[in-house]
Structure formats: C-alpha cells, structure tokens
Amino acid sequence: MSQVSPQRPRGLDQLDRDGFCILPDVIPRKNITAIREEVLAVVAAHRTESAPQQVGFVPGLINHTRCFAPYLLESQLAVLLTASLGAHLRISFTSAIVNEPGNQRGGWHADWPFNQTNAGHIPAPYPDVRMHVTTLWMLSTFSEKNGGTLVVPASHRRRSNPTAHIDCDAQQPLPEEIRITGEAGSVLVMDSRLWHATAANQTQNPRVALAIRYAPWWLNLEVLRPDSAERHRMCRESGRDDNRVPSVPNDVYTQLPVEVQPLFQHWRESPR
Ligand SMILES: O=C(O)CCC(=O)C(=O)O
C-alpha cells in the first residue's frame, strides 16, 4: 500500500496539477445499491422538465432524501476539501443526475460561478484561485460506454472556458479530452473551473450520479437562492438566469447528521 503524507491529503497534488482527482470508496460498497435505488426513486418522482433529454435531474436533493448525507464529510473527502477551500466549508448544490440510455453528449463548460452564461459568474479572465469544488459521486460505476464524465486535464488553469465566446466549439470533442472511469462509491473531485462535459450513455442501464458542490465560507451564494432579493436584482440587471437551489427546511436540517449540519446552516429556511 502506498504511503500518504499527513501533510498532503490524498488527491491534492493531482487536484492542483490536473484540476481533478478520484477518491475511492467514499460510500461503502455494501450501501451503494440502496442509495442508488433511493436516488432513482426520487428522480422518478421529482425530475425537472428543464434538463436535457434523457437526463434525470433533481436539484435540492437533500430536501428529498438524506441517504447520502452520512458521507458528505467522509474522512478523505473532508481532509481534501478543507485543504482546498479552508475551514467552515459550505455545501452549495446537492443534485441527482441520471444519464439515461441514449442521452446526448453535452457542451464543454466550467461550473458555477465560472459558467459565463449565469447571472452570477466571475467574469473571464478569472484569477487562478480555487473558489468552488464540484464533486460527482458515482452511484453507478462510470465506464467508457455508460457516460463517464469527459474532462480536459489542467484546463482549470485557463482563464476562461467555452461558455464564454472563446475560440472553441463547445459541442466538439477536443484532442486532449479524457473520460473519467471509476467504481461505484468513488467520488470525482474537480476544481469547478475544470472544463468538463456530459458523455453519451451507450449502454442499456442508467448512469446514476450525485453532483455535490462545496464552497468556502466567503463565496456569495445568494444568487442561487430562488427568492432572494439579490438573485432577482442580478437576473434582472444581467438579463440572465441562474441555477435554483431550494432552501433547506428546518425539519430537513434537523434530520441531518449533527456533524453535517454546519454544511447547510447558511441555507436553512428559518432565521439563523
Ligand atoms: O453528469 C456528468 O457526467 C457531468 C455533469 C456536469 O457536467 C455538471 O454537473 O456540471
């Protein structure tokens, strides 16, 4: 077994260099099937109309199920996230993403707040600072055929991405792209600036994933809150829309494991 230095969390070197890394066994194998089935049931009941065809998408997943909550601060993940974003972590998004058989390849993009089409975005050219981390949780094994995410290694160091008007066709394959594969229970950790794209699922089975995003305490998330005054103003003034992340009702909050509650405290419905 390879030695991991206590000073350098597992995956941090690769996250710095390539903009992503994969942490294995974040969800214990014995629990994966039950969590996948629960997430599929939530997606069947609550999927949004606005997602691309053959993609089952549910934002604010934590309001529908807490089945994944015990792992949100799994030890290797917590150490890596804290080294990346500092103390007092927050969760910004909890979404289910099911790429169903026959879904289309998606466009190259970087995630919020680097996606230049959102009302809330950090304008390109943006600085070389890690400000947000996207994690994709593999509830199915990600394979070459079933839609393992496409990424462009080291693209997090570029100062823009294909959601801006740059010299790159977001719909076309890129020579340097690679596909992420991994066992169910693994988590792909990406700097949110990394260029990535949905891949087509060419199998007969759904590829089931969670997109959980983590933010530092100092990143303003208010544009994501559906009814915030700041969101209304930013959308109106920019003429753009943004992702909607529903607030967490108090009864949902109290059902969370105590150690996980601080990750959602900023998003509680009731006054803090
Ligand atoms: O589902 C995937 O593989 C990619 C999802 C994605 O691009 C995103 O959540 O921003």
pLDDT tens, 196-205? 999 999 999 9
Nearest atom (ligand 1) to Cα of 147: 3
Place of tokens 């058989």: 101
Higher pLDDT, 270 or 145: 145
Whether the predicted pLDDT of 2 surpasses 60: no
- Identify the pLDDT of residue 11: 97
Instruction: Report the sign of the C-alpha dihedral through residues 99, 102, 108, 114, in that order.
Output: negative
97 lines ligand 1 (CB under 6 A): yes
For residue 149, how far is its CA from the centre of ligand 1 (angstroms)? 7
Non-local CB neighbours of 13 within 8 Å, separated by 6+ positions: none
pLDDT tens, 213-267? 999 999 999 999 999 999 999 999 999 999 999 999 999 999 999 999 999 999 9
For residue 3, how far is its CA from the centre of ligand 1 (angstroms)? 32
- Identify the pLDDT of residue 165: 81
77 lines ligand 1 (CB under 6 A): no
Q: State the greatest distance between any 2 C-alpha atoms of the chain, in Å, as a whole number.
A: 55
Residue 91's pLDDT band, with cuts at 50, 70 and 90, is: very high
The number of residues in the chain equals 272
pLDDT tens, 124-134? 999 999 999 99
Residue with the smallest CA separation from ligand 1 atom 3 is 149
Contact 230, 222 (CB under 8 A): yes
Non-local CB neighbours of 163 within 8 Å, separated by 6+ positions: 107, 109, 110, 114, 115, 116, 117, 170
pTM of the model: 0.96
150 lines ligand 1 (CB under 6 A): no
209 lines ligand 1 (CB under 6 A): yes
- Identify the pLDDT of residue 168: 86
Nearest atom (ligand 1) to Cα of 111: 10
Note the Cα 70 to chain centre separation in Å.
17
Residue with the smallest CA separation from ligand 1 atom 2 is 198
Which residue ranges form the domains of the chain, and what is each CATH number? 31-260 (2.60.120.620)
- Identify the pLDDT of residue 167: 83
Region 12-40: what's the mean pLDDT? Answer: 98
Q: What is the DSSP letter of 149?
A: P
